């Protein structure tokens, strides 16, 4: 049976973080109710779709509160063919987690939580404009664990204003002590049209070399703490990789529901624009065909496992192009060549866009 994931975008947050480029608006109960109804209708339009994972991402999905999330899961179960062991992830932030009843969420079928910690350092959190403290994050994780959640991911950020190797190490130690199973470590990118970009001279950001050092340091420290890298920004304990996100990197199909959500379904890529109104009006924009050989190679090279001959053959009935191997062997610092595939090194991951473009196109 083919795996299909369902991504549900919740475009609401308690406030806007100054670096954030995601589509998110200020939360209100009235809009959350209207949005839940619109999501329900859209989920019902995929009646009998066979689903292996569900991911509530955002924004801050947890801000919707237990009742709305439980109702959406119940619609999914009643309408779609959700596998018995499907992974169901809910993203949440510590500052709005008091709204959540973890026992009820678990009972409804949520079995994975992804929590936005970003940093355990008070000063870093302040510069990131985050509203929580490390101790509130700790209470949230502990409360969820008490209710039986044993698959928890924490998001942390690399290259934030005033971050040092020492503060990063403290954040990693903090995560490890909480006994979570997964860590996503993203390098902060200063996106245009964000307050961070407009006021960038007010902050002290690590330069590119320092960012690279922090990334390499994080990879080493996370592995020492038992979190093994399986993708550029993702690390987990044995077997606890994100099954839903794996669909993206394996170029498998998924439905994205909500403004700014992208889909790859029946070989076509399409998305809803970054506008609640457009979502309410069922507007979607075509993004052409998907799943070709080059797209597959680009996505797979984000994984530590990289491009693998057997997987490539199963999918396309042919070998990985020879020129990929030739080019990879010319940039040994950035790419590993095996007899059954190609993968990127840590330095290759840091420059992944240009290294992948070079391997594919020269
Ligand atoms: S909580 Fe996340 S999605 Fe919401 S504004 Fe902050 S970074 Fe963006």
Residue 168 lies in a domain: yes
What's the pLDDT at 76? 98
In a domain, 122, yes or no: yes
Q: Which residues contact 244 (CB under 8 A, 6 or more apart)?
A: 5, 7, 53, 54, 55, 87, 89, 254
Tens of pLDDT, residue by residue, the chain (362 residues): 677 999 999 999 999 999 999 999 999 999 999 999 999 999 999 999 999 999 999 999 999 999 999 999 999 999 999 999 999 999 999 999 998 999 999 999 999 999 999 999 999 999 898 989 999 999 999 999 999 999 999 999 999 988 999 999 999 999 999 999 999 999 999 899 898 899 888 888 889 999 999 999 999 999 999 999 999 999 999 999 999 999 999 999 999 999 999 999 999 999 999 999 999 999 999 999 999 999 999 999 999 999 999 999 999 999 999 999 999 999 999 999 999 999 999 999 999 999 999 999 99
pTM reported for the whole predicted model: 0.97
Same domain assignment for residues 75 and 189: yes
Any atom of ligand 1 within 6 Å of the Cβ of 60: yes
> Residue 317: which domain range?
306-362
Residue 230 lies in a domain: yes
Sequence-distant (≥ 6) Cβ neighbours of residue 245 within 8 angstroms: 55, 231, 234
* 311/296 Cα distance (integer angstroms): 11
Boundary (domain end) residue, out of 203, 231, 247? 247
Domain shared by 211 and 88, yes or no = yes
Q: Do 201 and 132 belong to one domain?
A: yes
The alpha carbon of 295 and the centre of ligand 1 are apart by a number of angstroms equal to 28
pLDDT of residue 163: 94
Q: For residue 58, give the ligand 1 atom closest to its CA.
A: 3
3-class secondary-structure state, position 85? strand
Q: Please, are residues 133 and 98 in contact by the beta-carbon 8 Å criterion?
A: no
For residue 130, give the ligand 1 atom closest to its CA: 6
Cβ 295 vs Cβ 249: under 8 Å: no
Distance CA 234, CA 307 (A): 17
Which whole-number Å values give the CA distances from 330 to 145, 259, 326, 333, in the listed order?
Answer: 48, 42, 7, 9
Same domain, 329 and 232: no
Give yes or no: residues 203 and 336 share one domain: no
- Same-domain pairing of 70 and 187: yes
pLDDT of residue 217: 98
Ligand 1 centroid to residue 151 C-alpha, Å: 22
Nearest CA to ligand 1 atom 7: 20
Residue nearest to atom 5 of ligand 1 (CA): 16
Number of H helices, E strands in the chain: 15, 17
Same domain, yes or no: 164 and 25: yes
Q: Which of 247, 281, 296 is the last residue of a domain?
A: 247
20 CB near ligand 1 (under 6 Å): yes
Q: How many domains does the chain have?
A: 2
Give the three-state DSSP class for 86.
strand
Task: Answer whether 13 contacts ligand 1 (Cβ < 6 A).
Answer: yes
DSSP reduced 3-state for 222: helix
Same-domain pairing of 176 and 315: no
CA of 357 to the centre of ligand 1 (A): 30
User: Ligand 1: distance of its center to the CA of 13 in Å?
Assistant: 6
CB-based contacts of 64: which residues, under 8 Å, 6+ apart?
Answer: 10, 12, 32, 36
CA nearest to 60, candidates 109, 5, 3, 98 = 98
Measuring CA to CA, which residue among 174, 184, 185 is closest to residue 140? 174
- Taking the centre of ligand 1 as the mean of its atom positions, its distance from the CA of residue 62, in whole angstroms, is 12
Q: Is position 142 within any domain? A: yes
Instruction: Give, rounded to a whole angstrom, the gap between the first and last alpha carbons of the chain.
Output: 37
**Does 163 lie in the same domain as 14?**
yes
Q: Are residues 122 and 214 in the same domain?
A: yes
**Ligand 1, atom 8, residue with closest C-alpha:** 20
- Whether residue 201 is contained in a domain is answered as yes
In a domain, 253, yes or no: no
Using a 6 Å cutoff on CB, does residue 16 contact ligand 1?
A: yes
Instruction: Tell whether ligand 1 has an atom less than 6 A from the beta carbon of residue 118.
Output: no
Q: What is the CATH number of the domain that holds 46?
A: 3.20.20.70
Which one of 247, 266, 288 terminates a domain? Answer: 247
Q: Is residue 348 part of a domain?
A: yes
Closest CA to 331 of 342, 315, 317, 322: 342
Residues 241, 317: one domain?
A: no
Q: Report the separation in Å between the CA atom of 23 and the middle of ligand 1, taken as the mean of its atom positions.
A: 9
β pairing state of 307-308 and 341-344? antiparallel
State residue 1's pLDDT score.
Answer: 61
**CB of 186 closer than 6 angstroms to any ligand 1 atom:** no
Residue 266 lies in a domain: no
- From the CB of residue 335, how many other CB atoms can be counted at a distance below 10 Å? 24
Ligand 1 lined by 22 (C-beta under 6 Å): yes
My answer on whether 205 and 354 are in the same domain is no
24 within ligand 1 shell (Cβ under 6 A): yes
């Amino acid at each position: 049976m083919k795996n299909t994931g369902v991504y549900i975008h919740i475009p609401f947050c308690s406030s806007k973080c100054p670096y954030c480029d995601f589509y998110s608006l200020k939360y209100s109960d009235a809009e959350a109710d209207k949005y839940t109804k619109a999501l329900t209708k859209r989920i019902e339009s995929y009646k009998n779709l066979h689903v292996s994972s569900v991911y509530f991402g955002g924004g801050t999905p947890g801000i919707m509160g237990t009742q709305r999330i439980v109702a959406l899961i119940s619609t999914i179960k009643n309408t779609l063919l959700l596998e018995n062991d499907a992974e169901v992830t809910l993203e949440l932030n510590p500052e709005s987690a008091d709204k959540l009843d973890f026992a009820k969420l678990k009972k409804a079928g949520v079995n994975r939580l992804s929590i936005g910690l970003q940093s355990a350092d008070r000063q870093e959190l302040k510069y990131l404009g985050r509203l929580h403290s490390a101790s509130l994050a700790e209470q949230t994780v502990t409360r969820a664990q008490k209710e039986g959640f044993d698959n928890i991911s924490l998001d942390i950020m690399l290259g934030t204003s005033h971050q040092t190797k020492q503060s990063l190490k403290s954040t990693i130690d903090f995560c490890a002590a909480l006994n979570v199973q997964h860590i996503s470590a993203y390098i902060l990118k200063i996106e245009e049209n964000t307050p961070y970009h407009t006021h960038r001279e007010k902050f002290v950001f690590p330069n590119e070399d320092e960012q690279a050092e922090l990334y390499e340091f994080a990879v080493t420290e996370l592995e020492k703490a038992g979190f093994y890298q399986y993708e550029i920004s993702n690390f987990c304990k044995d077997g606890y990789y994100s099954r839903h996100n794996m669909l993206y990197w394996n170029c498998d199909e998924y439905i994205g529901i909500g403004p700014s959500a992208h889909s790859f379904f029946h070989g076509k890529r399409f998305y809803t624009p970054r506008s609640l109104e457009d979502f309410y009006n069922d507007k979607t924009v075509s993004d052409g065909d998907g799943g070709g050989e080059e797209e597959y190679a680009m996505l797979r090279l984000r994984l530590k496992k990289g491009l693998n001959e057997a997987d490539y053959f199963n999918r396309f009935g042919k070998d990985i192009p020879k020129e990929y191997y030739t080019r990879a062997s010319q940039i040994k610092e950035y790419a590993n060549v095996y007899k059954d595939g190609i993968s990127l090194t840590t330095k290759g991951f840091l420059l992944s866009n240009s290294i992948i473009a070079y391997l594919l196109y020269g």
